[in-house]
Amino acid sequence: MDFVIKVGTPEKQRGACAVVGIFESKKLSESAKVLDRVTQGYLKTILASGDMDGKAGTSLLLHNVPDTLFKRVLLVGLGKEQEFKQKSFQGALANIFSSLQKTAVTDATVFLSDFPISDRALDWKVSQIVVVATNSLYRFNQLKSKPDNDQGHLRKMVLCIDQRTDLAACEAAVQQGQAIANGMSLAKDLGNLAPNICTPTYLAKQAKDLAKTHKMKASVLEEKDMEKLGMGSLLAVAQGSEQPAKLIVLEYHGAAKKEQPYVLVGKGVTFDTGGISLKPAAEMDEMKFDMSGAASVLGTLRAVAELKLPINVVGIIPTTENMPSGRATKPGDVVTSLSGQTIEILNTDAEGRLILCDALTYAERYNPKAVIDIATLTGACVIALGNFTTGLMSNNDKLAQNLLAAGEQTGDRAWQLPLWDEYQELLKSNFADMANIGGRAAGTISAACFLSRFTGKYHWAHLDIAGTAWKSGREKGSTGRPVPLLTQYLMTEARSVAI
Ligand code: BES
Ligand code: MN
Ligand code: ZN
């Protein structure tokens, strides 16, 4: 999709379709007022006919509107003007795209003054539109012999603003929105791919390709390298699989070498059967999405590189399958992690934390400014927060606040859970330094407590994306989350570094 920012109102523009807002009940938005004036009251006549009253979710496509250079005018219902908030804006955008997709319209002109959200700036609206529009065109066709071509014809959007002084900020917002959308699309593709294709080896190849395109540095540790280092915990998960495990490291340098990097660590379990603690068969196919943390790291690095942010970012991806076999880890096995701490593996299905802990210890060598791990870690997080909200836990309040704010800003929201010392007791083992599970109660927090034992040397936050990384049912597929949250966090950090 192409996006163009223009300064102007509807009277002098031309195009295939003007999109103008109507509030409840029958109240004209700014651009609707202008269009009504130049058309001698045409819009008011239409509204008076009763075919549309401006309720949220409604729309009406008009043809041959007199005295205008637009071939069509799409009226979009915005609901009550006083109640117009971020959520109404997102609803209106979804409405616009689904209405236009059914038509032959190739380019549409939207007037940003129609959307009066008091606490959001113009450039925020622009990047939201770019992300939602690009997402509405996403299809996963790689594995189909005939692609689904149901995207309609819309390929260009003209976004109109009132003041020339806002032009530069809005044009920058187009770029930011496009970078976020491109990062999400990469994350979605990797998540949606079948697990016989998206293996650890495949992810490593993707990281190398990404590095080549965007002048980053990719390196891959093989199992023998991990053995030498002493990553006994990661290797314990990998030993049941025929697919070799990898530790992928991707380095983006947008600032001087000496600047401390932000490190993103993504869980890359390309299929989680549970291992010997085997999962039930129903919906097990969805465990191909258990590499969504890894996918979000690659997606975010793509966005960061496209935006050429003036910071350093390192992505670390421990990746493996979790399979049952004669060689697989058994419940009761004790392993030694890279940190030297020993772990009693009571449940082989709690494998995410076992691969993350070695990657988190490995992260120490980068002298990080902050480390954020992203993982589809616990079913308990889906029970606690559902599919709307990512779980956030951190050993640093400032970092937690900044991530929460980035989630609010992008609508890719997270909610913080406590990491108090009381919970650490859940991980007590009679036979090793710790157990890898803490029981059913507070399952999301005990998983984070486990990780916290490997992150004492730096500021760290953990994002549990078990509920938000993909959708189930008829809409089954990756969401590309939390690429918006992570990219926004890094953009804001880059801005404060630049000043
Ligand atoms: N990948 C799963 C978590 C998961 C389950 C995400 C369902 C989304 C939907 C993880 O590896 C896992 O199996 N966790 C266990 C931990 C338990 C054994 C302590 C879980 O949540 O059941
Ligand atoms: Mn598991
Ligand atoms: Zn898992």
Q: State the pLDDT at residue 7.
A: 96
Using the mean position of ligand 1's atoms as its centre, give its distance from the Cα of residue 377 in Å: 6
With cut-offs at 50, 70 and 90, classify the pLDDT of residue 130: very high
Residue 344's domain comprises 180-498
Q: State the pLDDT at residue 269.
A: 99
User: What would the mean pLDDT of 140-157 be, rounded to a whole number?
Assistant: 92
In a domain, 174, yes or no: no
User: What would the mean pLDDT of 44-55 be, rounded to a whole number?
Assistant: 95
C-alpha–C-alpha distance, residues 303 and 297, integer Å: 10
Rounded percentage of the chain residues whose pLDDT exceeds 70: 99
Q: What token pair was written down for 339?
A: 């940190």
C-alpha–C-alpha distance, residues 459 and 372, integer Å: 9
pLDDT digits (tens, 9 = 90+) for 91-107: 999 999 999 999 999 99
DSSP annotation of 201 reads: H
| Residue after which a domain boundary falls, among 137, 163, 189 | 163
Residue 231 sits in a domain of what CATH number? 3.40.630.10
Does the pTM surpass 0.75? The reply is: yes
Domain count, the chain: 2
C-alpha–C-alpha distance, residues 49 and 358, integer Å: 67
By the 8 A CB rule, do 291 and 321 touch?
Answer: no
In this structure, the answer to whether residues 109 and 207 fall within a common structural domain is: no
Report which residue type is found at 460: W
351 C-beta closer than 6 A to ligand 1: yes
pLDDT digits (tens, 9 = 90+) for 435-482: 999 999 999 999 999 999 999 999 999 999 999 999 999 999 999 999
Residue identified by tokens 């989680």 is 272
Using the mean position of ligand 1's atoms as its centre, give its distance from the Cα of residue 187 in Å: 20
pLDDT digits (tens, 9 = 90+) for 318-346: 999 999 999 999 999 999 999 999 999 99
349 C-beta closer than 6 A to ligand 1: yes
In this structure, the answer to whether residues 360 and 492 fall within a common structural domain is: yes
In a domain, 333, yes or no: yes
352 C-beta closer than 6 A to ligand 1: yes
In this structure, the answer to whether residues 384 and 492 fall within a common structural domain is: yes
By the 8 A CB rule, do 432 and 343 touch?
Answer: yes
In a domain, 60, yes or no: yes
Q: Does residue 499 have a pLDDT over 60?
A: no
Average pLDDT, the chain: 97
In a domain, 96, yes or no: yes
Q: State the pLDDT at residue 336.
A: 99
In this structure, the answer to whether residues 41 and 131 fall within a common structural domain is: yes
Q: State the pLDDT at residue 498.
A: 60
Angle CA(287)–CA(291)–CA(295) in degrees, nearest 5? 140
306 C-beta closer than 6 A to ligand 1: no
pLDDT digits (tens, 9 = 90+) for 191-209: 999 999 999 999 999 999 9
CA distances (Å), origin 14, targets 6, 72, 140: 12, 10, 34
For residues 14-27, one letter each, b for 16 or more C-beta atoms within 10 angstroms of the residue's C-beta and e for the rest, the string is ebbbbbbbbbbeeb
Q: State the pLDDT at residue 12.
A: 85
Among 288, 349, 356, 357, residue to substitute to test ligand 1 (most atoms within 8 Å of Cβ): 349
In this structure, the answer to whether residues 196 and 135 fall within a common structural domain is: no
Among 356, 378, 445, residue to substitute to test ligand 1 (most atoms within 8 Å of Cβ): 378
In this structure, the answer to whether residues 409 and 338 fall within a common structural domain is: yes
C-alpha–C-alpha distance, residues 314 and 249, integer Å: 7
Q: State the pLDDT at residue 357.
A: 99
Q: Could you tell me the end-to-end alpha-carbon distance of the chain, in angstroms, rounded to an integer? A: 33
Q: Does residue 497 have a pLDDT over 80?
A: no
In this structure, the answer to whether residues 102 and 200 fall within a common structural domain is: no
In this structure, the answer to whether residues 142 and 197 fall within a common structural domain is: no
Task: Work out the angle between the directed axes of helices 167-192 and 122-136 (0-180°, nearest 10).
Answer: 30
Residues forming beta bridges with residue 77, ordered by sequence position? 22
